Amino acid sequence: MRNFWLNFHLGYSCRHSGACCSSGWAIPVEHDRVIPIRSLARRSDDAWLMADVNAPADVAGTLTLRPDGHCVFHGDTGCGIYGSRPASCAHFPYVCLVDQRGVHVTLSHYCPTAAALLFEDHGPIAIVEGPPPVAGFEIPEGLDARESLPPAESPTRLMSFEAFADWERREVLQPQTASAAAVVAARFEHARFAVPAPWSWAEAPIDLEDRWRTLVAPQWPAFAPVVQRYRAAKVFASWAAYSGDGLAAVRRVAAIADAVLEVEAVRQCLAAGRSLDAELLKQAIRQADLLLVHYADGWVLSSGTSP
């Protein structure tokens, strides 16, 4: 199975920032990981493993969280069970699409290490072959579309897989385009609508257009390469390609991601009390992907239907 990456993601490796270990997420533990983890835990009990009556048959439970939402195995030196960590930990921050062409790998930039890669100069954006994203998994977790027809080019026509690959190579090179403030606000609201209950996401800051113009817009052109890489990561390996309207859905999700990033950039500037800089943009990117990748329902996000 061939593995395809965006070139600016290819050098990703975990730097143990701990973002995924401290976000309060319930991490499922497969039965075959219990004994290795138990041996690393060096405890006389299994207090690190929480029972889950709703867990699927291949899951023994979830990792115990401390009151602050940190995994019990996360410490100052990183993960205490890294070599035997559960599969979901090994798969973060990879977002994979598998189809007849191979495995296509993008990243969740909620991970600070992944977000930092967007700020490094890798030359022109390109889709390249690389290694499997997760050792020991020929087919990683993700959307498995190997038995699906190719994406729709129009309401009445499907593409060939070769044509789809060519389209992706062209589309990842497209820069973000400016949109009217009302359009940005509507797209952001659609992303919020895609978050299923009981979760939610904060509304856009008030006076969004004015705050964008004063706090973000003057610095935004300087970060055009970063924003373009972020957009490319929403076009490539997009699960939306295999939704009802194919390429149109991919472009729609990319446009929503543009809008979410703009809104979160304003939010970060307001929280910090200063104009946009690289650190604030990095945090905005992280928050944008926390919403788009981890909170929102991807199929609702790509549907284009909102209240």
65 within 8 A of 71, measured Cβ to Cβ: yes
Same domain membership, residue 275 and residue 178:
yes
Same domain membership, residue 120 and residue 48:
no
Per-residue pLDDT reduced to its tens digit, 13-70: 998 888 999 999 989 999 999 999 998 887 667 889 998 888 889 999 999 999 999 9
Per-residue pLDDT reduced to its tens digit, 103-120: 999 999 999 999 999 999
DSSP state of 135: T
Same domain membership, residue 189 and residue 171:
yes
H/E element, 50:
strand 49-50
Q: How far is CA 305 from CA 147, 234, 235, in A?
A: 26, 19, 20
Residue type, 258: D
Per-residue pLDDT reduced to its tens digit, 149-181: 999 999 999 999 999 999 999 999 999 998 999
Q: What is the secondary structure of 189-221 as a DSSP string?
A: HHHHHTSPTT---PPPPTTHHHHIIIIITTTGG
Same domain membership, residue 250 and residue 307:
yes
Considering the chain, what is the average pLDDT of its residues?
A: 94
Lookup result for tokens 């609201």: 189
In a domain, 143, yes or no: no
In a domain, 258, yes or no: yes
- Whole domain around residue 49: which residue ranges? 28-90
